[in-house]
Each structure stands twice: as C-alpha cells, then as structure tokens.
Amino acid sequence: MRLTRRGLLIGAGGAGALLVAFALSPRRYTSALVAAPGEHVFDSFIRLAADGAVSVAVPVCEMGQGISTLMAQIVAVELGADWKRVGVEPAPPSPAYGDPVLAARWAPLWQPGYLPALADTPDDWLARMHAEREPMMITAEGTALAAFEAPLRAAAAGLRAMLLQAAAAKWNVGWETLDTAGHFVVNGKQRIAFAALIPEAVGYDPPDPPALRAEPPRERPGQFPDGARPRYPRLDLPAKVDGSFVFAGDVRVPGMVHAAIVHGPQGDTVLSTFDRKAAETVPGVVGLVTDKRWVAVAAKTWHAAHKAVLATEPRFHAAGRIADSSALENRIDTALRKGRATRLMAEGDPDALLAKPTLTARYDVEPALHAPLETATATARLTGDKLEIWLATQAPELVRRQAARAAGVSARKVVLYPMHAGGSFDARLDARIAVEAVTIAKTLGRPVQLTWSRWEEALAGYPRTPVSAQLSAALGPDKRQLLGWRTRMALPATAIEAGARLLDGMDALGAQAAAKGRADPLACEGAMPLYAIPERAVDHVPTALPLPTARYRGNAHGYSAFFTESFIDECAHHGGAEPLSYRIGMLTGQPRLAACLVGAARLAMWGGGADASGQGIACHRMDLAAGEGLRSGFIAVVATARQEEGAIRVDQLTAWLDIGRIVNVDIARQQVEGGLLFALSQAIGGSTAYAAGLPTAGRLAQLGLPLLADCPKVDIAFAESDEQPFDPGELATTAVAPAIANALFSATGLRFRRLPLLSEGL
C-alpha cells in the first residue's frame, strides 16, 4: 500500500481521512482519531499539537504492564522526540487497531476447521480480515509489541520524513542528510523545533516505504543494571505515586449512584427469593434491580448499597449442576484414569514403550483466582439512545456489543471510555459487569457505578481451570536416557470455553456446552517437552465440569511447565544425574534455552541440587507467531526454598531470560519481577475450593498469598540478543513453581506434585 500525505494525515480538525487495510481485498476505513483545531493526526497512531506536543494512541489495555510507555517510547525513538513532550491516550475501537497476531494465535477458537492454513500466521489473509472486521482489539497473550511496533514506527517515520523535508526546504539541503533529536530537526549545529515546521511539513508526502531508522528501539541489558536510572521512565508513574491516577473506581458522573451486587453460587443457579423491604430500610437506597442470576441495590454511597443488598438475604436455587470441589475432583480423576483421550501433539509414538513405564507420576492443579488489586467496576450512563460506559477492559469491542444489547441501542451509539486497570491477570476479559451496570442504569433511569465487592470478585469471577496430569517415562538400561514420554491431561476445553464467551458473546452455560467433549490444543500448550526424547506425545482428555473456567496469566504454560519440569527432575533423580547437566544434555537444538540454564545456574551459584541443598532448577520456552516468523522467549529459574513450621519459605529466586531485543530494560525487569512473585503466590496459595458453589477462599487473607516479609531475594539477568522482542509478562510465571517444588525435594526429600504446593500437607 502506498503512503501518501492524505493517507497519513488528518489535518486541523478534519475527521475524514481514509486508511487502506488489506485482507482478502483492499478496504477503506475512516481514521480512528479526530484532530481538534490546530492538531494533526498521523496514521491513527500519533496526534501532534500545534506546539509540537505528541500523543500516542494506545490500542491495548494498560494493566500495570507498562505497554503505554513502551508504545510511546517506540514513537519517541523513531521520531526523535523529547520524552518530556510525549504522552499517551486510549485508542478508540477501529479496524485500524485490529491485532492480526492475536487473531492468528487464536485462530483455533474462531476459524472454520476446514480452513486451517488460511490463518496460521498474522500475514495470512483470513487472520488479517478477522482482526480488522471485529475489530479484534483484545489485550492478551503478550502480542502488543509484535502487532503494533511496526505500524507505530511507520507512522513516526512518516511524520519525521515530512518534518525533515520542511526543514530541508528552508536550508536548501537534501532531507536525507538531516536527522531529528530532542524535538528538533538538526543539521550539524543548525536546528529547528518541530513546532516551527508543522505548517509546512503537512504539505509533504512521506516516502514509500517508510524511511525507518537503521536501528529499532532497543536498550542493552548491560547498560541498565538493576537500580540504574531508566532512559525512558514510565509515563504513568508520577500520577500513581501522587495518587492522581484515575482508575475505573475513581470515575464520577453527575447524578451518579453507586450499586452493589450479589451473584448466585457458581454453576447453574437462579434467583428465587429476596427481601426487598429489608433493603429499603437502609438510608440512602435508591432502588433494587434483579436479574435471573443476581440482585443489585443502588444507593447514594457504595457502602449503603452493599449493606442493603446483603440485607435482602437473596436465595438461589439450583437449575442444574453446582460447582463443588469433591465433584470436580471426582470428575477429573475419572477422566484421567478412564477417559478417552485425543492426541494433540506427538513426535513418534511412545505408547509401545510406555506399556510398562519406568516412571510415572500424577500432578494436580487446583482452581486459582485472579485476585487483582482493583475489583471489577463499571460506570454506565444512558441518555436517550446514547450509552456511555467507563470501565477497565481487555476486550472493548465485546463490551460495546454486549452493553448495546443490554441497553437496547445500536453499538454505534455506545461510547466506551477505557480506563486503566489496577491489575487483571486476564480477569478483565470478562464483560459481564458492563452488562450488569447498563441493566441497572436503564432500570433506574440514572447513571450508575457498579463495583463488585472482594467476595463477589471471588465468587462470580471465572477461575483458572483445575487440571490433573499423568506423566510417564521410559528410560534406557542406564536409567538415564529418556526413550519415551507421554503427558496425559484431564481438564475442560478451557481455551475454547473462554473463547466462546469472549469472541461469540456466549454466557457461561452456553460456552461450556460449546466446549464439551472437544480437544483443546491451547489448553495443553507447553506440555510437549523441549528435550530430545525420541518418542513423545501429549494427550488431552476433555472433562466437563460444573465450573466455568477462564484465561489466566501464564495460561496453559503455568501448569504444563510445572508438570514437565517437575517430572524431568524425577527422571534425573531416578538415574542419579545432576539436574542441570541432565537437562542440558537433552536440549539438542535449543541453544538459547541451554544458555539461560547456564546463566541462571551461574548467577545463583548453583550447587548441583544435591540432597538438603534446598536448590531447584527449571526452565521453559514460549513461542509466538508474528509477521516475520516465530518469536520465542526463554527462561530458567533457580529457587532456594525450605519447609519451615508447616509453611514454605522461599529464600531466593534467580532468573535468566532471553527475550530477544529489549525495548525498555526497566519495564522488562518490572514485568519479570512481578511475574516471578505472581508465580510464587500461585505456588504457595492463590487457589480455592468450592462448596455448594461458593469459594472457600473468598477473601485475600484466605488465599495464602505471600506477605512482603515472605518475598524472597530476586535476581534477574537478561541475555544480550538481536532476536525479535518477546513479551516477558507471562513467560516469567512459568518456571517458578517447578523450581520451588524441585528445591523442596532437595530440602525435604519429598515430592510436591500438587499446586498449591502445601495443599496436600507434609
């Protein structure tokens, strides 16, 4: 596609510039951003004010992962801008921001089964068409850099070229000899500010293809050791420090009332009775609203609303199956032992070798709650046929469609104000709270802010799936050489189920029905061992459960790495092998992962994992198909842990990562530190059982999360790499639990095969 000035630029209050997107055929879209008087918008990603201030449109949800800063940094580096004059703004829903990388990654969730080759990669026409048509603006899977770095650089490079051409005309030189730095066009000692060039610059066409800088945005890890001052500090940090940062719960709208809600137990439950009069006796109550599966009360304050809705003492009856841990475990156990499996991945056929396996072990993972710091909050205002919604969401288009249906208006009449999230871990892929807020606002005829209590977040939120796995290995006569390996996993088709809710707008029961009995490759990702084992396979036993399940930070890799890296340690111990050398000896064709293992071992002063050393090691790899090919991230973790008075004490976590080219070392380190501690919390807590549909751990204090005093010393190092960047946010969560489990075996001589690790006791 040819870039032109009109295709790149919306000038001085214009809103009609067209963007050309290619999928099956070229299509034209109105640009997403609207320029105010004196402003210019470039390629729907950059807004330039008359004084030269730059605002970057961010089409993903900021959840604390720092993506807003990364996107602004990409533009600032390519443009040559002054970081103090660069800001960000949320991007409105538009095909211009469709994510083809995520569309390709989730192709099994939406594409017809007979068209597999048409959406394998982001460059395939079907993936691009699906991303643009929805539009697929979903924050998940760490795809943002892979999807948006190139268009951000192209937009910034086009603007830079236009500024250079304007300056070149003033100096009577070739524009290719000029450069930009610090918000100026420079020519030796000569320089002109961006603001002085804007009126002339908008009259030039950018080159086609864009004249990108030779070096993409990057920071070398060696130049930014831990504690070093960042070159591009986070844009959201000052406001978060002084308390002025606005989250969803901070929104205030004239005439707004607050609402609290009570949901039915998890499973197929229906509201049967409630005491309306009890709610009306609470001062400040404005109204009560019910739905099939919930009751809500609105009041002048949230605390009054919460008190009133609890006073109604709602009762729910079972219309179908109810989540109960004993039933969940029985179903998974039966499926694992007797269920019919589908082979998802295989190299060779290990079944003959594993007729009588040398080693076999079972691993179990309990349901885990997202438990973000900020509970779900949405504000809705319905004025005539116009609906406005304020909330933090990872799936804005899903929210718009479902909210429009609840309000009885066209999706075109829905204005969504995306707020930053106070954590998510994929909890904000759920759009239900928007529908609830709209329903209450429509019924009461006034703006409403609905906030779930911590208990409701635990009760109504969809957890990470429970899963059980049977791992079997066939070893050679030397008791060391792995000849065969099989991982048999019993769990729901959780990725298909979550996709049915997210992409098709189904409710929980409909999504579970759509996923029933289906094999799910995404739900078993990462279970195929990376080691050079001649015969290996992964089998999935789809298991229907009376518990809706959801996406979760790390997703399938969070439990598949636990299975694999714990069992590989058992194989090493069976043969009397040192765990590090045992792994490296089988990592044929995996030099980056082997280097991470060596780096982590050196950094942690690995002692061989000998008995009673309390050290354990684990590693993992994640892949992402991007336009230029496969992007990969690698991690190795060494944990030092011990058992102390019935509790687990982790003294140190050491991680070595290869995530390719790093855009911002400080943010990468924050992501990894957060991921390691998040994984620690899941290793020792974070889960819940269910009794009659109610979570047994409905408060933060009941989740067994680590306190500040429980947090270990953390050491992180990054490999110097020229490979394409890989987002470390989910990768960092994968290898911690098995490293701790292996460390506890070294310390205690006991194998911990269930997450959380002390859920079975000592």
SS3 of 26-41: the string is EEEEECCCCCCCCCEE
Token pair, residue 740, equals 């701790």
> Omega before 447 cis (within 30°)?
no
Beta strands in 3-133 (DSSP E): 9-11, 18-22, 26-30, 40-42, 46-48, 54-58, 86-90
Residue (of 644, 650, 637, 700) closest to 680 by Cα position:
650
Which residues is 387 bridged to in the sheet? Answer: 382, 414
Dihedral (Cα; 699, 703, 706, 708), 10-degree rounding: 0
Question: What whole-number distance in Å separates Cα of residue 680 and Cα of residue 647?
Answer: 13
CB neighbour list of residue 366: distance below 8 Å, 6 or more residues apart: 466, 687, 688, 689, 754, 755, 756, 759
Question: Could you read off the pLDDT of 322-341 as tens digits, one per residue?
Answer: 999 999 999 999 999 999 99
Question: Could you read off the pLDDT of 385-437 as tens digits, one per residue?
Answer: 999 999 999 999 999 999 999 999 999 999 999 999 999 999 999 999 999 99
For each of the domains in the chain, give its residue range(s) and CATH number, in order of start: 5-99+137-217 (3.30.365.10), 251-320+376-451 (3.30.365.10), 339-369+463-755 (3.30.365.10)
Answer whether residue 683 shows pLDDT above 60.
yes
Answer whether residue 10 shows pLDDT above 70.
no
Cβ pair 727, 144 in contact under 8 A: yes
CB neighbour list of residue 310: distance below 8 Å, 6 or more residues apart: 262
**Is residue 163 very low, low, confident or very high in pLDDT (cuts 50, 70, 90)?**
very high
Question: Could you read off the pLDDT of 429-488 as tens digits, one per residue?
Answer: 999 999 999 999 999 999 999 999 999 999 999 999 999 999 999 999 999 999 999 999
Question: What whole-number distance in Å separates Cα of residue 543 and Cα of residue 547?
Answer: 11
Question: What whole-number distance in Å separates Cα of residue 247 and Cα of residue 391?
Answer: 8
What is the crossing angle of helices 194-201 and 144-171, to 10°?
90
Element spanning 638, H or E? strand 629-644
Question: What whole-number distance in Å separates Cα of residue 182 and Cα of residue 191?
Answer: 10
Answer whether residue 19 shows pLDDT above 80.
no
Question: Could you read off the pLDDT of 500-542 as tens digits, one per residue?
Answer: 999 999 999 999 999 999 999 999 999 999 999 999 999 999 9
Question: Could you read off the pLDDT of 688-745 as tens digits, one per residue?
Answer: 999 999 999 999 999 999 999 999 999 999 999 999 999 999 999 999 999 999 999 9
What does the pLDDT read at residue 567?
Answer: 98
Question: What whole-number distance in Å separates Cα of residue 217 and Cα of residue 662?
Answer: 8
What does the pLDDT read at residue 27?
Answer: 46
Q: What DSSP line would sit under 447-478, residue for residue? A: -EEEE--HHHHHHHSPPBPPEEEEEEEEE-TT
**Is residue 660 very low, low, confident or very high in pLDDT (cuts 50, 70, 90)?**
very high
Question: Could you read off the pLDDT of 295-330 as tens digits, one per residue?
Answer: 999 999 999 999 999 999 999 999 999 999 999 999
Question: Could you read off the pLDDT of 633-642 as tens digits, one per residue?
Answer: 999 999 999 9
Q: Percent of the chain at pLDDT above 70? A: 95
**Is residue 33 very low, low, confident or very high in pLDDT (cuts 50, 70, 90)?**
confident
Answer whether residue 84 shows pLDDT above 60.
yes
What does the pLDDT read at residue 116?
Answer: 57
Question: What whole-number distance in Å separates Cα of residue 367 and Cα of residue 688?
Answer: 6
CB neighbour list of residue 396: distance below 8 Å, 6 or more residues apart: 61, 93, 137, 416, 418
Question: Could you read off the pLDDT of 583-629 as tens digits, one per residue?
Answer: 999 999 999 999 999 999 999 999 998 778 899 999 999 999 998 89
What does the pLDDT read at residue 255?
Answer: 97
Element spanning 634, H or E? strand 629-644
Answer whether residue 148 shows pLDDT above 70.
yes
Answer whether residue 104 shows pLDDT above 70.
yes
Q: Percent of the chain at pLDDT above 90? A: 88
Answer whether residue 17 shows pLDDT above 50.
no
What does the pLDDT read at residue 20?
Answer: 39
What is the crossing angle of helices 396-407 and 432-444, to 10°?
30
What is the DSSP-derived secondary structure letter of residue 62? -
- Please count the CA atoms within 13 angstroms of the CA of 496 that sit on its side-chain side: 20
Question: Could you read off the pLDDT of 279-299 as tens digits, one per residue?
Answer: 999 999 999 999 999 999 999
Percent of residues in the chain assigned helix, strand, coil, to nearest 5? 35, 25, 40
Residue (of 207, 249, 77, 219) closest to 153 by Cα position:
77
Beta strands in 145-195 (DSSP E): 179-181, 184-187, 190-193
Question: What whole-number distance in Å separates Cα of residue 230 and Cα of residue 761?
Answer: 44
What is the crossing angle of helices 579-586 and 591-603, to 10°?
160
Cβ pair 751, 361 in contact under 8 A: yes
Answer whether residue 12 shows pLDDT above 50.
no
Averaged pLDDT of the chain = 93
Question: What whole-number distance in Å separates Cα of residue 484 and Cα of residue 532?
Answer: 10
Answer whether residue 646 shows pLDDT above 90.
no
What does the pLDDT read at residue 24?
Answer: 34
Sheet of 359-365: strands edge to edge?
A: 342-347, 535-542, 482-491, 467-475, 359-365, 754-755
Cβ pair 730, 670 in contact under 8 A: no
CA angle (558 as vertex; 554, 562 as ends), nearest 5:
160
What is the DSSP-derived secondary structure letter of residue 660? S
Question: Could you read off the pLDDT of 256-278 as tens digits, one per residue?
Answer: 999 999 999 999 999 999 999 99
Cβ pair 460, 433 in contact under 8 A: no
